[in-house]
Amino acid sequence: MKILGISAHYHDSAAALVIDGMPVCAVQEERLSRRKGDASFPLSAIEWCLDHTHLEPEAIDAVVYYERPMLKFERILTCALRAFPHSWRAFPKAMQNSLGEKVWVRGIISSHLGVPRSRILFTEHHQSHAAAAFLTAPTRRAAILTTDGVGEWATLAVGHGERKPDGNTEITLLREIRFPHSLGMLYSTFTAYLGFAVNEDEYKVMGLAGYGRPTMVDQVRRVIRRTPDGAFTLDLDYFEFHTTTERSYSDRFVELFGPPRNSYEPIDLETAEGQRFADCAASVQRVLEDTLVGIARALCQETGLTDLCLGGGVALNGVANARILAESGFERVFVPSAPGDAGCALGAALYADRIHFGNPDRDVPDHPFWGPPADGVELARLAREDGHRFEELDDSTLIEQTAADLAAGRVVGWMDGALELGPRALGHRSILAAPHAVAMRDRLNRDIKFREEFRPFAPVVPIESADRYFELPPGGARLARFMSGIFPVRKEWRQRLAAVTHVDGTARVQVLEHAMAPRLHTLLEAYGRRSGIPVLLNTSFNLAGEPIVNRVVEGYTTFRRSGIDVLVAGQTRLTKRASPLANAKEEVTCSRSVDRSSAR
């Protein structure tokens, strides 16, 4: 049975294909369109999935959309009615937005793919999140907690799942918290208040929190209150996201927390104002963690299960995830590589396969590499055409040479195999560097990633050595498999791992098993033999504001535009020349001139 899952129209659209119960490919539209967070209908992603599997759309048995559009429209309309007459400005925009395309999903899918309307199915948003988290995790029974900004009505849902010995699968969501009461919206509101982009820069708030002290926790607890049944409610006097599209916080919110940050102003942590923003980030982070830990603890007691599957965009908050693991009572916490909406494409397809069609359960490979492959031959061609120095090496020589490059302080662009699904570079589209000196972090932020100086970088370490350098609790290595947890760097190593140790002594470490990314694992070992520490700085292969690179040509242009010293794709290694760009201008000067007046 061939099932295509689609997520689209809000942020980070994606497509995933499941054949006979197994995912065979999945990719985010942004990686193909090169527009970060691309929310458009994922036609390129669908085309790639079909091309990759040599399938025609007619061969698809079912297309599953990741949420119920009409239910979502009901929520939008109801919220506009409830906010009457304050929603008069937001109402036309919301209607034009929804009625323009978003509610006609069945027709759009049918017209784009030519599949009969009866083959188009719809899961609920949090069902998709739950399926993406539970059905891809190596566990038979687990509690499920999904939380994000908002789906149709739900913003947070809890339940449990079971993969039974007879092959049947059950996912039961027990209860939910409904819009506008939302942890995701709370965090996004602070993201906007702190001058960052909503739905994109929430992780910057988490990074900034490390520099602050939670001195405003009491204020934050005035805007989000726990309810007697263990849930929470937002005091809507402090918010406007439910009534307008212009601003997510109200004047009362500004009275409580002070003036918002101008997004253009850099955050200067040396100033009182900069410190206030950091304290604000630390405070909302603390309240988010406390709330999630409380809900997870109650779920653990209620279900009596040892495993928890976390889904939804809030599950990208590694600090909260680590606290849930440490304090909720669950022994293992599973977060998929794409817990956000992109992963819902895969979740929706798996949900339809296991639950709707009742197909027998199958173990899903425990890796995030479902996208297009990198082609080293293409890099050789590009380098040859542009007159760059490159080498095509056998694997062991290439690994040793790359380890030598890294040990010499060079920054390496690393492209290997299939693209990751999700926002983290987990070893197939990474920028790698030596993790030892703060100067390397600053160089990467300044010359390569072109981003704020407070932003930390993540390390990658082989699972065999992880405990030596990082304080991983039981279950920590699992959580760190897809960089989903933030854990302390051992004190004795912090100085030698300064480029990947955040100001609070933690790191968003990736713990790597050989089977998941064999070449990177071998590279880590080779680097360890040279430097004495088998740890590398691993950051996503992209520049600020751009999606992670997909094809080799995208890695190549990123390499050319930034301070990356070496680019490795497949078996090809490319290094920078002294002034490679001089050529283009010379070539133009030498080309035949044109009579400009005739051209006009």
Partner 1 sequence: MIFEMFRPVHRWIWCDAERRAHKLLRFGETETDGGRDLVRASEMTPDSLLRRLYLEHAIDEHRHGVMFRRRGNEILRSLAPGSNSSFQADWLAPSGHGVDDLRVDEEPDEALLAFLHLSEKTAADRFSVYRDVLENDIPTRAIFEEILRDEVFHMNYTLTQLARVSPQRHGRTLWYERLRRIWKSYLRLAAALGAVIGGFILIVQYFVILPPFAWLAKRVERRESRGWTAISPQSNRSLQRQY
- Span 68-87, contacts to partner 1 by CB under 8 A: 68-71, 74, 78, 80-82, 84-85
- Residues contacting residue 396 through CB under 8 Å, at least 6 positions apart: none
Site for partner 1 in 86-145 (CB under 8 A): 88, 91-93, 95-96, 103, 105-106, 118, 121-124, 127
Distance of CA 145 to CAs 68, 187, 296, 323, 531, Å?
20, 17, 7, 14, 41
Query: 527-546 mask for partner 1 (x: CB under 8 A)?
Result: ------------------xx
Q: d(Cα 311, Cα 41) in Å, to the nearest integer?
A: 22
**Piece of the chain touching partner 1 by CB under 8 A; list 213-221, 456-464, 519-527, 552-560:** 552-560
Query: 314-353 mask for partner 1 (x: CB under 8 A)?
Result: --------------------------------------x-
265 touches partner 1 (CB under 8 A)? yes
Binding residues for partner 1, rule CB under 8 A, total 78
**Tokens 């007879």 identify what position?**
166
For residue 360, cis peptide bond before it (omega within 30 degrees of 0):
no
Q: What is the dihedral of CA 199, 200, 204, 209, to 10 degrees?
A: 10
**Main-chain dihedrals φ then ψ at residue 291, nearest 5 degrees:** -65, -45
Site for partner 1 in 430-459 (CB under 8 A): 450
Nearest distance, CB of residue 594 and partner 1, angstroms: 4
Q: Using CB under 8 A, which of 56, 229, 255, 492 touches partner 1? A: 229
Q: Is the separation of the CB atoms in 489 and 505 below 8 Å?
A: yes
231 touches partner 1 (CB under 8 A)? yes
Query: 159-178 mask for partner 1 (x: CB under 8 A)?
Result: x------------xxxxxxx
For residue 42, cis peptide bond before it (omega within 30 degrees of 0):
no
Q: Using CB under 8 A, which of 230, 395, 408, 438 touches partner 1? A: 230
Q: d(Cα 169, Cα 135) in Å, to the nearest integer?
A: 9
Q: Which is nearer to partner 1, 176 or 361 (CB)?
A: 176
Q: d(Cα 566, Cα 109) in Å, to the nearest integer?
A: 42
Q: Using CB under 8 A, which of 157, 183, 267, 345 touches partner 1? A: 157
Q: Is the separation of the CB atoms in 392 and 376 below 8 Å?
A: yes
First and final C-alpha spacing in the chain: 59
Q: Which is nearer to partner 1, 272 or 492 (CB)?
A: 272
Nearest distance, CB of residue 169 and partner 1, angstroms: 13
User: Cβ atoms within 10 A of the Cβ of 116, count?
Assistant: 10
Q: Is the separation of the CB atoms in 187 and 255 below 8 Å?
A: no
Nearest distance, CB of residue 173 and partner 1, angstroms: 5
560 touches partner 1 (CB under 8 A)? yes
Q: Using CB under 8 A, which of 54, 532, 579, 585 touches partner 1? A: 585
**Tokens 């069945």 identify what position?**
106
579 touches partner 1 (CB under 8 A)? no
Nearest distance, CB of residue 547 and partner 1, angstroms: 10
**Tokens 């409610």 identify what position?**
233
Q: Which is nearer to partner 1, 54 or 596 (CB)?
A: 596
Q: What are the residue ranges of helices labelled H in 90-177?
A: 90-100, 105-113, 125-134
**Piece of the chain touching partner 1 by CB under 8 A; list 231-239, 247-255, 396-404, 429-437:** 231-239
Nearest distance, CB of residue 62 and partner 1, angstroms: 8
289 touches partner 1 (CB under 8 A)? no
Q: Is the separation of the CB atoms in 378 and 388 below 8 Å?
A: no
